[in-house]
Amino acid sequence: MTTARDIMHGDAQCIGADEPLTSAARMMRDLGVGALPICGVDDRLGGIITDRDIVIHCLAEGKDPARVCAGELGQGKPFYVRADADLDVVLDEMMSHQVMRMPVVDNKRLVGMISEADLARNLPSDKIGALVEAIKSGPADRAG
C-alpha cells in the first residue's frame, strides 16, 4: 500500500501566523510554491495560505501586505491527511474539499504536503481526472 508519506514533499516549510503576507509571498517565490502551511512554533498546522488568498483577500481589497499577517487569511479548520493514509483516502479528501494541495500530519505535526501533481505521478489517469473535475466544479474561493 502506498501512503501519503511515500509521495509527499517532506520539506514543506511553514509561515508563522504572525508573519506578514510580504514574507509569505517571498517564501512562495523562493520555494516555487503556490501555498504555504501556517504553523505555530510547535509545527502544528494552523491553516494554509495561497498566493490567490494574498491577491484576493489582501491586494484586491486595498490592504497593505506588510501589515496583514498570514494568520488573518488562514482562517477556519485546515484540512489534512495522516501520513499513513492510503492514496485513495488522500484522493477522496482532496476531492471532497476541492483542494489542489493537502497537508500531511503525523502526531499532530506537519510532516509534508501533497499536491495534485504528486497524485498524478502515482495514480491512474481516470482518478486524477476525477480530482481535476471535482476541483474545477468547486467554489472559486477556497484554500488548499
pLDDT in tens, 91-131: 999 989 888 889 999 988 889 999 888 888 887 777 777 77
Domain boundaries, the chain: 4-136
Residue 124 burial (CB count, 10 A) = 8
Q: What is the pTM of this model?
A: 0.81
CB 114 within 8 A of CB 90: yes
Here the cell at position 114 is: 501533497
Question: Which CATH code, of 3.40.50.720, 3.10.580.10, 3.40.50.2020, 3.40.50.300, is assigned to 4-136?
Answer: 3.10.580.10
- Which pLDDT score is estimated for 15? 95
Question: How large a percentage of the chain has pLDDT more than 70?
Answer: 94
